[in-house]
Amino acid sequence: MPPSRPHTCCAEHTRAEFARRTIAEAGKGLPTIEAGMPTPAGTGLSRRSFLLRAGGVALSVYGASMLKPQAFAEGIAEAATGDGRVLLSVFVGGGWDSLSLLAPVLDPTYLQLRPGLKVEPGAGPTWTEDPRLQWHPSAAPLHKLHSEGKVTVMPSIGYAGADQSHFTSRHYWEVGETNVRTNTGWLGRMLDLVGTPDNPMQGLSLDGSLAPSLATAKNPVAATWETEYDLWAPGVWGDVENLMFGAFDRIGAGAVRGGDAGMAASGNVMRQANTLRNQLGSFPDEVSSPVAYPNDRHFASSLKGFAAMLAAGLPIKVASVDAPGDYDTHDDQQADFARNVKETCDGLLAFQRDLEARGLADRVLTLVWSEFGRRPEENGSAGTDHGAGGSAFLIGNGVRGQMVGEWPGLKSLDEDENLRSTADYRGMYCSLLEGWFGVDAGAIIPGASNFARPALLG
Amino acid sequence: MPVYQGRFGTQQAERLLWRAGFGPRPGEAGKLARKGLKDAVRSLTRPRGKPRLVGPEPHDEDGLPLAPADAYGHDHLWWLDRMVRTNQPLVERMALSWHDWFATADVGHTQLNLNQNDLFRRMGLGRFDELLHGVTADPAMLVWLSGNENTRRHPNENYARELMELFTLGAGAGYTETDVREQARALTGWTNDWDDNIGAVNFRFEPKSWDAGPKTIFGHTGVFNWQDACNLCLEHPAHADYFVRKLWSYFIPKDVPKKSLGPLIARYRNGYSIRPVVESILMHPLFYEGPRMVKPPVVQIAGMLRAKKSGIWTEDFVWISADAGQLLFDPPNVSGWDEQRWLDTARIGGRWSAAARLTEQFEVIEDGYPVKETPKEAVAKAWRFWGKPTLSKRTEMELQQFANRVEGIITEEWHERSYRALRQNALRILIATSPDFTTA
């Protein structure tokens, strides 16, 4: 299998965003306002807006003829009375270098394997659980959270017989088993088991396309770009727009009833899209937050918007977002790695503080993972090649805060000269499913009984 | 081989044009229907003369021609334009199927991907053995699946595995891990040079990096080379079955009926010919009598543009297609696009954006809009806007009810023109995003 292409190419995103803005501005080509006319859509006022007390987020709802604000508020209230536990999966694409995140700075083997890429002693804080290791200076926010007991570290996690293809290894992590044919995600299967057939927000991908780990077989899930989900219709606004979305939903419903499989599949997703649109509405572009985020780029904005969505009581169970940057550092690793880790960790710290300030921190966990670690021996181009054991972190008030699996050391590497895994990712999944969500891992993770359950939660 | 015996009218011709092409231009379905089934199918599978591109030349926002080998996304636009303007739609549609079958993403030197695309266009209805040999030696594929790094000293199994798993036999169908390793040895010998400005160049077979030792593949032993590797797959008992089922799946969303499998396989085995198999599929009763099929996103987008005789005038169709889940030259992985994932809330949003971006070009405004237009006239007008595509009774009824409801909220004088114009814009979007238009 070929390596997956870097999926977060900055130029592409900037370009797509630019195009989006262009089309949004084109939407301003609305008729002149005359006396007595309603304010056109696009200014947000023609949609029925209401303020949710929780978090003070202004929510606007389209298609109010179908779904009244009151019903919506009731739905939110109902979801809020449940357990409300949430897991956010943060995928670090490309395979991040565990030996830089937690570096054995004084280990002679490390100095020998990493003459050019070694992290300098004293550059970052020592990891209290294993003083041989030192945090990368860019990962200082994780050290801070760890010292508060809010991070469970898995210093070398993976699976036996590590596959060194990005695509295959990521797939294994996404589906929760080492089977290339599985096409539902481990979290998706959980939603099939304990989710509902009418709430696409229960599994939310924040990067604009469905995260494979959330892929379900039967229950709906949703994908948005940050907090935005809107269907823009040129030359349609106000009451006619509301009627149009009503018709959109009814056409979908008609197709579901009609009996043709292709039409029904299409009608179903139309209804999901409309539900999602109602749920998110014109969720304000400028989400207010009780804490400052490091920047307004996609990752930070996604986390900020996600916290606001949770505060608004939106019925989300699992969500996914990609960490910024490409960690496939085959060359010139130092600068790229430092910059990307900093952006990722700064964002995660702000998110945790946001949850704490909003009183949500007890019911949200964040899992940060990557498809593999990197080769201990640096290569000839100031980079590292694909490895095996990688780093994962579980962040939240509910974690135990003690490492799972120990640091394996550089003395005995695996047959490919890679770091051995000391924890199995499937055991971690089982532990989360059972300990956090209280569902039977045996019904979700194949061979669940074979995996030891690490003590992740406090 | 069963052949469809029912009525072959506009509706059937429309399905044929969507599944074997990119939908009708205005009036095209009616014209095709008058040919009758057999001639209609043959007009697609055996097009006469040189392919022509009909309609306005594509350009970017600044009116400049596309630069498919150089500018980001222009490779996508360049091919989308061919889909929109071709007079030989099945040729382009087969190229799309082969792009999915031998899914190759950008290899860093886009001209190589464009060359591969041309191979699919030239050979797509010919002989599969020739196509397979062509793809195996194709530079983009050699880079994509590491064929150019597969040497006698350091064999790389990447292409060998996919050759069997995805291209000819199916996962685990009659081959072993030893066959993978032995195939990889047979496939050694391809190499290329590197040019810092261009990328991979000068692809060639280098006998001295080929493993000239004997290999045992599927129980046969010989001094096999890359052509033998392909031929052994083609002659493998599991191949014809896999080929026929896979090709069928691009046209009909149901399994091949047991009774039809044998005759299709026999047709294919006669010279590994693609065209006769495609013809049989396009004339099969299940093609016309079976359920509707979700259009690949790029097919739906090209079809909207065809219906409006519109050219490519904006780069927005790059991100719109990506949102809809299908950026050309960028399949998600070597197994191609997963049609089970064509529809989710994000991707349906991409299809919606395509309809919005196109109808925006034709947006009606209140100034001068007919003040007396009835709801019925409004629906008929929007329907004609798209060339009267087939709509189910239920959808037609919902459109009518929507038009009626808008009529019901016309209560002020300024609503008279304004709401009727908004209604027309809305109806066009509703038709282009309906399940009827998303499927064929």
pLDDT digits (tens, 9 = 90+) for A89-102: 999 998 999 999 99
Q: Indicate the residue among B289, B313, B338 that finishes a domain.
A: B289
Closest chain B C-alpha to A120 CA, distance in angstroms:
34
What are the two backbone dihedrals, phi and then psi, of residue A226, each rounded to the nearest 5 degrees? 50, -125
**Over the range B337-365, which residues count as b (16 or more CB within 10 Å of their CB) and which as e?**
beeeebbbbbbbbbbbbbbbbbbbeebbe
- pLDDT exceeding 90 applies to what percent of chain B? 85
Is A142 part of a structural domain of the chain? Answer: yes
Tell me, yes or no, if A290 comes closer than 8 A to chain B by beta carbon: no
Cα end-to-end distance, chain B, whole Å: 24
Residue A116, token pair as written in the block: 């050019």
Q: Indicate the residue among B261, B289, B317 that finishes a domain.
A: B289
Contact between A176 and A444 (Cβ < 8 Å) = yes
pLDDT at B322: 87
- Residues B188, B208 within the same domain: yes
Other Cβ atoms closer than 10 A to B93: 26
Closest to B293 (Cα-Cα) out of A265, A267, A251, A183: A265
Q: Could you tell me which residues are beta bridge partners of residue B221?
A: B216
Query: Is residue B303 pLDDT above 70, yes or no?
Result: yes
pLDDT at A186: 97
Domain containing residue A315? 83-230+281-450
For residue A239, list chain B residues with Cβ-Cβ distance below 8 A. Answer: 409, 419
| Beta-carbon pairs below 8 A across chains A and B | 199
- Residues B30, B148 within the same domain: yes
Partner B, chain A 189-248, Cβ-Cβ below 8 Å: 200, 205, 208-210, 215, 220-225, 229, 231-241, 243-244, 246-248
- pLDDT exceeding 70 applies to what percent of chain A? 80
Is B5 part of a structural domain of the chain? Answer: no
pLDDT at B314: 93
What are the two backbone dihedrals, phi and then psi, of residue A393, each rounded to the nearest 5 degrees? -135, 140
Query: Is residue A28 pLDDT above 80, yes or no?
Result: no
pLDDT at A282: 52
Is B179 part of a structural domain of the chain? Answer: yes
Is A244 part of a structural domain of the chain? Answer: no
Helix (H, G, I), strand (E, B) or coil at B433: coil
Measured CA to CA, the distance from residue B387 to residue B398 in angstroms comes to 19
Domain containing residue B311? 297-438
Measured CA to CA, the distance from residue B104 to residue B336 in angstroms comes to 8
The residues, any chain, with a CB within 8 Å of residue A19's CB and separated by 6 or more, are B315, B316, B318, B319
Query: Is residue A285 pLDDT above 70, yes or no?
Result: no
- pLDDT exceeding 70 applies to what percent of chain B? 100
With cut-offs at 50, 70 and 90, classify the pLDDT of residue B173. confident
- Range scoring the smallest mean pLDDT among A40-49, B9-18, B63-72: A40-49
> From the list B106, B392, B425, which residue is nearest A234 (CB)?
B425
Helix (H, G, I), strand (E, B) or coil at B45: helix
Closest to A362 (Cα-Cα) out of A38, A84, A37: A84
> From the list B145, B412, B433, which residue is nearest A2 (CB)?
B145
CA–centroid distance for A399 within its chain: 18
Higher pLDDT, B434 or B157: B434
DSSP 8-class letter at B327: -
Contact between B84 and B358 (Cβ < 8 Å) = no
Query: Is residue A57 pLDDT above 70, yes or no?
Result: no
Domain count, chain A: 1
Domain count, chain B: 2
- Residues B381, B280 within the same domain: no
Over its C-alpha atoms, chain B yields an Rg (Å, rounded) of 24
Q: Could you tell me which residues are beta bridge partners of residue A386?
A: A374
- Residues B101, B176 within the same domain: yes
Highest mean pLDDT among A59-73, A284-298, B260-274: B260-274
The residues, any chain, with a CB within 8 Å of residue A192's CB and separated by 6 or more, are A184, A216, A217, A218, A219
Residue of B nearest to A16 (CA): B319
- Residues B129, B216 within the same domain: yes
pLDDT at B339: 82
Closest to A165 (Cα-Cα) out of A410, A303, A1: A1
- Residues B277, B301 within the same domain: no
Other Cβ atoms closer than 10 A to B187: 29
Is A32 part of a structural domain of the chain? Answer: no
Q: What is the CATH number of the domain that holds A360?
A: 3.40.720.10
Determine, for residues A1 and B158 on separate chains, whether the beta-carbon distance falls below 8 Å.
yes
Query: Is residue A119 pLDDT above 60, yes or no?
Result: yes
- Residues B55, B100 within the same domain: yes
Measured CA to CA, the distance from residue B440 to residue B438 in angstroms comes to 7
> From the list B291, B348, B433, which residue is nearest A262 (CB)?
B291
H-helix or E-strand containing B201? strand B199-205
> From the list B146, B253, B316, which residue is nearest A19 (CB)?
B316
- Residues B237, B154 within the same domain: yes
- One-letter amino acid identity for B428? R
Higher pLDDT, B153 or A130: A130
pLDDT digits (tens, 9 = 90+) for A242-262: 999 999 999 999 999 998 999
pLDDT at A317: 94
H-helix or E-strand containing A280? helix A261-280
Determine, for residues B419 and A229 on separate chains, whether the beta-carbon distance falls below 8 Å.
no
Tell me, yes or no, if A28 comes closer than 8 A to chain B by beta carbon: no
- Residues B259, B317 within the same domain: no
Contact between A248 and B430 (Cβ < 8 Å) = yes
Query: Is residue A48 pLDDT above 70, yes or no?
Result: no
DSSP 8-class letter at B163: I
Helix (H, G, I), strand (E, B) or coil at B374: coil
For residue B392, list chain A residues with Cβ-Cβ distance below 8 A. Answer: 254-255, 258, 263
pLDDT digits (tens, 9 = 90+) for B329-381: 998 878 889 887 788 888 898 999 999 999 999 999 999 999 999 999 999 99
**Over the range B263-292, which residues count as b (16 or more CB within 10 Å of their CB) and which as e?**
ebbebbeeebbbbbbbbbbbbbebbbebbb
With cut-offs at 50, 70 and 90, classify the pLDDT of residue A83. low
Closest chain B C-alpha to A15 CA, distance in angstroms:
9
Closest to B21 (Cα-Cα) out of B1, B40, B38: B40
Measured CA to CA, the distance from residue B133 to residue A159 in angstroms comes to 38
Is B1 part of a structural domain of the chain? Answer: no
Is B204 part of a structural domain of the chain? Answer: yes
Residue A340, token pair as written in the block: 């990307």
- Residues B308, B283 within the same domain: no
Is B344 part of a structural domain of the chain? Answer: yes
pLDDT at A208: 74
Closest chain B C-alpha to A319 CA, distance in angstroms:
14
Residue A68, token pair as written in the block: 């009244």
For residue A183, list chain B residues with Cβ-Cβ distance below 8 A. Answer: 338, 340
Tell me, yes or no, if A25 comes closer than 8 A to chain B by beta carbon: no
Contact between A398 and A454 (Cβ < 8 Å) = no
Is B2 part of a structural domain of the chain? Answer: no
Determine, for residues A269 and B344 on separate chains, whether the beta-carbon distance falls below 8 Å.
yes
Is A242 part of a structural domain of the chain? Answer: no
Is A22 part of a structural domain of the chain? Answer: no
Contact between B59 and B312 (Cβ < 8 Å) = yes
Other Cβ atoms closer than 10 A to A225: 22
- Residues B284, B301 within the same domain: no
For residue A24, list chain B residues with Cβ-Cβ distance below 8 A. Answer: none
pLDDT at A66: 33
Is B4 part of a structural domain of the chain? Answer: no
Residue of B nearest to A219 (CA): B344
Closest to A190 (Cα-Cα) out of A457, A424, A430: A430
- One-letter amino acid identity for A94? G
Residue of A nearest to B364 (CA): A235
Q: Indicate the residue among B289, B306, B333 that finishes a domain.
A: B289
Contact between A421 and A157 (Cβ < 8 Å) = yes
Query: Is residue B131 pLDDT above 50, yes or no?
Result: yes
Query: Is residue A51 pLDDT above 60, yes or no?
Result: no
Is B114 part of a structural domain of the chain? Answer: yes
Residue A450, token pair as written in the block: 């074979």
For residue A235, list chain B residues with Cβ-Cβ distance below 8 A. Answer: 359-360, 363-365, 421-422, 425
For residue B429, list chain A residues with Cβ-Cβ distance below 8 A. Answer: 233, 236, 244
- One-letter amino acid identity for B25? R
Residue B6, token pair as written in the block: 């029912």
Is A126 part of a structural domain of the chain? Answer: yes
Query: Is residue A63 pLDDT above 80, yes or no?
Result: no
Is A99 part of a structural domain of the chain? Answer: yes
For residue B418, list chain A residues with Cβ-Cβ distance below 8 A. Answer: 31, 37
- Residues B303, B258 within the same domain: no
